[in-house]
Amino acid sequence: MITEEDGRTARKRRQILDAARPVFLRNGYVGASMDEVASLAAVSKQTVYKHFTDKEQLFTRIILDTTNEVDGLARMVTATLDDSDDLERDLGKLARQFLDALMQPELLRLRRLVIAEADRFPELGRTWYELGFERSLTTLSDCFARLKTRGLLGLEDPDTAADHFVGMLLWVPVNKVMFAGTEARYAEADLDRLAASATAAFLRAYAPPGT
């Protein structure tokens, strides 16, 4: 049974996490100040340390909490492809959804932060990748295997096919904005073109035998 006190504790913890996230994204791990977190959360510094023993624990919790956002890609894959009766249409739709999700400015800033701190927190970076992007790739591979069974794709290695699809779709645009900053945004028409061209190339490469 959740008591009123438990509810207040959970809300206070969420309040601190919500305040800390932009601080870490803006300043990085080293530059983030627990004083600033406390000020933005409108709590005392003592309250912050009551919920999180140190800055490392707070940072770890923020990063791990965001794996659910990336994991949403896996659910998107299954919902879009599993019952597809028009693979060109549905794979193109999925491609566009991937671009929308992974080109979000805050997710790009978060990705930069995880990469920047990978040497300091290698296990955290590895976990973030495994629970987010790697899980999405595995889900995509499983879907491709099922589509092969249904005769909609011709492929020998679903894992490689998933890598090819995501690589063609994301390698250029994501790297461009990762290096050039979130101001280097793509127009909607450009994202439409990227999704369509990656889908078309993938379907040509992995067409079922005899088509």
* Residue 167 confidence class, pLDDT cut points 50, 70, 90: very high
Q: Which pLDDT score is estimated for 5? A: 53
Burial code of 7-22, b = ≥16 C-beta within 10 A, e = fewer?
A: eeeeebbebbbebbbe
Q: How far apart are CA 98 and CA 64, in angstroms?
A: 21
pTM value? 0.84
Q: In the chain, list all ranges with CATH 1.10.357.10.
A: 66-205
Q: In the chain, list all ranges with CATH 1.10.10.60.
A: 4-62
Fold of 66-205: Tetracycline Repressor; domain 2 (1.10.357)
Q: What is the mean pLDDT of residues 52-78?
A: 85
Q: What is the mean pLDDT of residues 114-120?
A: 94
Over residues 70-86, the pLDDT tens digits come to 667 778 888 899 889 99
Out of 1.20.59.10, 1.10.10.60, 3.30.479.10, 3.40.50.300, which CATH number does the structure's domain 4-62 have?
A: 1.10.10.60
Q: Could you tell me the CA-to-CA distances from 201 to 17, 136, 161, 166, 180 in Å, in that order?
A: 42, 21, 12, 12, 27
Is residue 60 within 8 A of residue 24, CB to CB? The reply is no
Tokens of 15: 């309040």
Q: Which pLDDT score is estimated for 182? A: 63
pLDDT above 70 for 180: yes
